[in-house]
Structure 1
């Protein structure tokens, strides 16, 4: 009898423990206290008030206007807000940190990271996009928020909105810290929120993508003091593993990039930080960084406490297409070959999904090193002969452009135009070298899975990813060496503009892709204010403070058409870094493959949403995401649009997503992709929603910042709830 009672006691204890564990697991999905929802990064909510049966009843619960949208500057809000103890923390277009009552949208406080008394605020800080903030608490009175403005991580008291002056220097840490002399004066910032692990703040950076890029080393700082605790060199230095993958043994001294700009995901139980890295600089020509280039284009599994490498996987060897992974990975558990395996999954710009064993880095589905076309590479280039191709899941976007893929809704003259252009370009498959005639890149530079990242249902192992499908043109041109360095301001300004500005703003300053025209800048700026703008940067434009003052004056003289400056003699002393940065080719610009009237050359859909079973690697469903207004007027439905920002998936069968150019916010049935609800936002929601509960009421909120894809800028956070 005594043994029987002991057995019953143990059984009850076991059941209670399982229930407790289940509740803990469930609880992490019932709030939105960190970017991407919870520590797995899966953007999943277990809240059950809104479901497939009542989602059509959703209505606006509150709207908060930040009041600082800047249409002229194409301002945006890409922030995925967080909610802690009923307070929402978010960021405005001009990077004010906001604390709002999450039930009403009423402001509690606003933190300004810059001097509001200055004559021109927008020149006092770097208007980079910011995708979120991090929260840390000691469990008592110390509650902190961390976010990045310009080159600084700020620490702000979550209760008062005041800067915590004991962190770093007067409440901020310079992101140049620990990067060495190589990074001095170079652009270093961050768009993704830092990640908290215990009492550490882990962060990557955003750096330039040209030859003036700082190294993208990953670091951890003490959350209380701001002191750097460890650093992982993403471009290995002598004596470190991976150093042998760079043919030039001094490349680490000059080469930049390989940066974790997309954020990371930390397995709290294992103490492992899974951090993807970007391409090495410059993006489209690797003649000065020959080799496989570890640890660029990798998934790194780092010991979160020490920064030591546990394992790595390289997605692209010697990247010359800017095909770096574009979002933080997702943690989940799948059933694979009859066994439960803790896995980490990564979506990519190429449209591939990679899934690995979290402990070992072993791919769960075969990945084959596949020969690729390296013929006719640019002089001095040495492309890698193979690239890793996962055999499952199948790609979630198209990866080649042939004549059969031309947009059938073009006018006859537009069809002829596109056919002639296509015949002149290199096309037909992925990983073709960049070329002087132009190479079609599909998925494009912003194609496949973008920075919003996927959502994953932890109960089913189903991954949901939104994607853009748009062809771009990768074209290079030769840079003629000058026999003489004797130049005037006009000659130097034209040369420097081509070297530093053409890729984004085009030869004729008309812009391209998501980059604006800079024609007419003389109406807004004089030489002094434009140089200040060059020093600070704005949005997608990095700061160019490393340029010498005479170089900035020469660029300003050309951009502002200061003819009285043109004949001034231009003289500077070149450094070793200046000589290293000179390339035999330059990238001509971020140009989509469009007709003269701006219509896509590629057939629709241009935006999609796909459900993929990560247990089997099979696709469950795929649907079009968004409607292009131009083609909608022509009677063409289901075109999809390019999209930025991720989805949220719920336990109750829903998938919410904004992200599209058409300003819609939509809810789909996660089981079959059926559209259940949509509403029009005040501006496109190029961000990831957040789902939370306050006082028993469930909300979903989305930042409506617009500003991309030619849309007007907005300044609103809009929350929805049932009546």
Structure 2
């Protein structure tokens, strides 16, 4: 079965030329003039550096020779968290235009700062004093003569504000804002879609993706383009095709009426000369069970090339067929140029959660390294028809581990190892594409594996791509739920706890909970003897002859207590919340709905595989930084990044840690990275991976860094999460000393 569907590429009489801006007005509030300095102060004026999503900077004032001298230059504290709100992550990748930095905070407020001092120029609160919040990875800048705009989303609305003043542009949408709920399938007054990554500009269009629910009844993730001047919706591309459209035959015939997801939440890239926008898409919903979406499910998990001016389909490449693992394409594609047989070939390099790097011809979507369709395990879950094959690129090799054996389990102590081994052996596991199951599935790499929204950084001077990877297995456990509109029926937390008891407890304590005195006490009437907290501690820690069950307990706490305490009609708070969300999704749908097939929920979704003390269940490294030569498909180097000192064995390399933020690379020969669990910011030699510099941040650096020139000095900036001292988070900049 082919995994590429495309129509012939329409050759243009000539390539669309890049727009040339001949004159730039300089505002009095800026500290630099026009000319070369102004040009250099636009080297990071777009999310991830440029429209190719390269995360590359041509700046080289900060070099391998002097990077160790970096020191804090300024820190901005938004201080916009309302009292009593929890700390939030700030994932913003700040942009800088002519001496002004534009960024969002962890609370999703918009700020303009002097790029050389961090001094506040203006701020804008899209929530008018309300709580707001939500993930924001940055903003978009656009200009035409004197008309300079910042476009960004907050909640489910798209805003346009004046770049120099922060005042809403009242001619855009309705009083400066346009609803992102309009133009999808559902009732705009009943749905709420919340973009997390900034849009990208093509001429006078802002092309946007969105984040949608990941449950049944979710909205489809249509790609939409808006007129930057008016906020008018100009075109949209159906990521779940309608009748007559490419890919329609990869779904049940009415799926476009009820299927959701296949959305771009990661951002996208543009080739302006070709007039093409490249979109990375996530999985269809529901993420872990697809009886109602039998087929390959285009354009879920696809890289899609569209005409940027019209939204018309050009080509696609699907990385996962009929996704059952939440293997979204979580980062925008990198637009790169390879050397093949002495010729330059423009390409697309797409990172993934699976740990594969997909390298595709930019004009046709054809893989530039061989890709094999290989058989993968079938599903055992009633109603599910997993796709029988999946694509496996032969080059480059995966940058994250894709398989393990019992020998790869952690060994902190004999007790810990025995518990991990027992759990590992209890789950279904047949490799990277083992389908979720009602007995539990060991998922590896898992939804947090491979690389996340930080994606790759590409050096056009060398053809090397740098990517941070994570090895973070998790457990999925499917539970059948009632799919009627009221979500009632006999689905209960008690039944989930009963299954847990049968799997792990009944062999000692008996099927009837009577036990076998004196070694295995009766569990009848347990609620009168101890409270739930004490019971869960004993299960997690082990007691007497009973080993620790901490590796299988997470996510099951409410269930086992419901069973032990004979609470027969109880449902978990998370499950109840999910079912209410499904109900709301379906009530908002304006089309005929499909609700007759069975439904399952992954009640262990996103649950880590860990031992009783919360330590990773597999041996390190748990996070690496990788340098991949795209010309050859070979690795230049791979190093662990980040560390858990308490878990590092004497004489062994650092452990590496997980993290979602991505690296950046500079002409100064440096790869900068943060986002690891040890709250550090790193500088690596791009040629060999040697650590050149590191510094401890006030809190977790939860965003991809930016580097820019202001007032003749190069700065490195990073957004950080909130903490007890500053719940609203920080923006911190570093520079060389005077």
State the TM-score bracket (shorter-chain normalisation).
0.7 to 0.9
Shift in alpha-carbon separation, 1:486–1:219, aligned structure 2, 3 A = closer
> Following the alignment from structure 1 to structure 2, what is the Cα–Cα distance between the partners of residues 592 and 713?
26
1:392 aligns with 2:417: no
- What are the within-5 Å matches in structure 2 for residues 261-280 of structure 1? 261-280=265-284
Superposed CA offset, 1:200-222 (max 9, x none): 00001100000031010001000
Residue 331 of structure 1 corresponds to 335
Secondary structure (helix, strand or coil) at the match of 2:729 reads strand
Q: Distance in 2 between matches of 1:356 and 1:485?
A: 44
- Shift of the 512–184 alpha-carbon distance from structure 1 to 2, 3 Å rule, reads farther
Does the Cα contact within 8 Å between 2:267 and 2:332 map onto a contact in 1? Answer: yes
Residue 662 (structure 1) shift: 0.6
- Which residue of structure 1 lines up, in the alignment, with residue 100 of structure 2? 87
CA, structure 1 residues 492+394, in 2 after alignment: closer, same or farther (shift >3 Å)? closer
Say which is worse superposed, 629-638 or 215-224, in terms of deviation. 629-638
Matches of 2:110 and 2:316, distance apart in 1: 35
Equivalent position of 2:655 in the other structure: 639
Q: 1:362 aligns with which of 366, 369, 372?
A: 366
Distance in 1 between the 2:347 and 2:213 partners? 32
- For the residue of structure 1 that corresponds to 2:306, the secondary structure is strand
Shift of 1:479: 2.9
C-alpha displacement of 1:180: 3.0
Q: Which residue of 2 aligns with 1:171?
A: 176
What corresponds to 2:54 in structure 1?
42
Indicate conservation of the 8 Å contact 1:402/1:427, yes or no.
no
8 A Cα contact 2:215 2:286, kept in partner: yes
User: What is the match of residue 295 of structure 1?
Assistant: 299
Q: Does 1:447 align with 2:463?
A: no
For residues 150-192 of structure 1, give each alpha carbon's deviation from its aligned partner in whole angstroms, at most 9, with x where no partner exists.
Answer: 1101111111101111111111111111113366623311000
In the alignment, which residue of structure 1 is the partner of 2:673?
A: 657
Alpha-carbon displacement from aligned partner over 1:517-573 (angstroms, at most 9, x marks no partner): 999xxxxxxxxxxxxxx9xx9xxx999778569x9xxxxxxxxxxxxxxxxxxxx99
Shift in CA distance, 61/485, structure 1 to aligned 2, threshold 3 Å: closer
Task: Write the distance in 1 (CA, Å) between the matches of 2:666 and 2:589.
Answer: 57
Deviation at 1:629, TM superposition (A): 4.4
Match of 1:528 in 2: none
- What do residues 626-680 of structure 1 show as CA deviations (whole Å, max 9, x unaligned)? 0124425988651111112111111121111111111100100000000000001
Query: 1 CA distance for matches of 2:366 and 2:423?
Result: 43
> Any unmatched runs of 5+ in structure 1?
1-22, 499-507, 520-533, 552-571
2:488 and 2:303 map into 1 onto residues whose CA distance is 47
Report the alpha carbon displacement of residue 706 of structure 1 after superposing the two structures with TM. 5.6
Cα distance change on mapping 1:617 and 1:180 into 2, 3 Å: same
Q: TM-score, normalised by structure 1?
A: 0.82
Summarize the Cα distance change of 1:238–1:366 in structure 2 as closer, same or farther, 3 Å threshold. Answer: same
Distance across 2 between alignment mates of 1:694 and 1:181:
46
Partner of 2:8: none
SS of structure 2 residue aligned to 1:188? coil
- Matching of residue 159 in structure 1 with residue 159 in structure 2: no
Deviation at 1:274, TM superposition (A): 0.3
Separation in structure 1 between the aligned mates of residue 708 and residue 297 of structure 2, nearest angstrom: 42
Partner SS for 1:418: helix
DSSP 3-state at the match of 1:206: coil
CA distance in 2, matches of 1:203, 1:209: 19
Q: Which of 54, 60, 73 is 2:86 aligned to?
A: 73
Q: What does 1:306-705 align with in structure 2 at a 5 Å threshold?
A: 306-374=310-378, 376-408=379-411, 410-479=412-481, 547=583, 580=595, 583-589=598-604, 590-632=606-648, 637-705=653-721
2:56 aligned with 1:57: no
CA distance in 2, matches of 1:259, 1:372: 25
* Equivalent-residue separation in structure 1 for 2:170 and 2:557 (angstroms): 39
Q: Distance in 2 between matches of 1:281 and 1:184?
A: 22
Cα 1:338–1:61 change in 2 (3 A) is same
1:401 positional shift: 2.2
Partner residue in 1 for 2:260:
256
Q: Distance in 1 between matches of 2:224 and 2:169?
A: 21
> For residues 601 and 231 of structure 2, what CA distance do their matches in structure 1 show?
39
Match of 2:135 in 1: 129
**In the superposition, relative to structure 1, how do residues 252 and 486 fare at CA in structure 2: closer, same or farther (>3 Å)?**
closer
The alignment yields a C-alpha RMSD, in angstroms, of: 3.5
- Cα 1:372/1:421, change in 2 over 3 Å: same
Structure 1, residues 38-96: CA drift from partner, whole Å, max 9, x if none? 12111111112110111111000000011134785341100000000100000011111
| Structure 1 residue 377 displacement after superposition | 2.5
Scaled by the length of structure 2, the TM-score of the pair is 0.80
Supply the distance in 1 between the matched residues of 2:677 and 2:487 (Cα, whole angstroms): 47
Question: Is the contact between residue 327 and residue 451 of structure 1 (CA under 8 Å) also seen in structure 2?
Answer: yes
Q: Where does residue 517 of structure 2 map in the other structure? A: none
Q: Which range is displaced more, 184-193 or 304-313?
A: 184-193
What is residue 286 of structure 1 aligned with on the other side? 290
Deviation at 1:433, TM superposition (A): 1.1
The verdict on how the C-alpha distance between 1:546 and 1:430 changes in structure 2, with shifts beyond 3 A counting, is closer
Answer yes or no: is 1:180 the counterpart of 2:195. Answer: no
Q: Which residue of 2 aligns with 1:17?
A: none
How much has 1:370 moved relative to structure 2? 1.2
Instruction: Look up the SS of the partner of 1:421 in the other structure.
Output: helix
Residues 1:245 and 1:696: Cα distance change in structure 2 (over 3 Å): same
Distance in 2 separating the partners of 1:637 and 1:49: 31
Aligned partners of 2:341, 2:317: CA distance in 1, in Å?
A: 22
Q: What is the rounded CA distance, in whole Å, between the counterparts of 1:543 and 1:687 in structure 2?
A: 32
Is the contact between residue 659 and residue 687 of structure 1 (CA under 8 Å) also seen in structure 2?
A: yes
Q: Is the 8 A contact 1:187 1:543 kept in 2?
A: no
Residue correspondence of structure 1 range 199-218 to structure 2 within 5 A: 199-218=204-223
- How far is the alpha carbon of 1:713 from its aligned partner? 5.7
Note closer, same or farther for the CA distance 1:700–1:576 as it changes in structure 2 (3 Å cut). Answer: closer
TM-superposed deviation, 1:698: 0.5
**2:128 is matched with which residue?**
115
**Alpha carbons of structure 1 residues 305 and 517: separation in structure 2 relative to 1, 3 Å:** farther
Distance, in Å, in 1 between the alignment partners of 2:40 and 2:240 is: 35
Counterpart Cα distance in 1 of 2:41 and 2:380: 49
Contact 2:486/2:583 (<8 A) preserved: no
Equivalent-residue separation in structure 2 for 1:63 and 1:483 (angstroms) = 51
Aligned partners of 1:186 and 1:213 also within 8 Å: no
Query: Which residue number in structure 2 is paired with residue 718 of structure 1?
Result: 732
Output the CA distance in 2 between the equivalents of 1:605 and 1:163. Answer: 48
Contact in 2 for aligned 1:209/1:281 (Cα 8 Å): yes
1:483, distance to aligned residue in structure 2 (A): 14
Structure 2 distance, partners of 1:412, 1:545, is 43
Deviation at 1:114, TM superposition (A): 1.2
Distance 1:196 1:343, change over 3 A: same
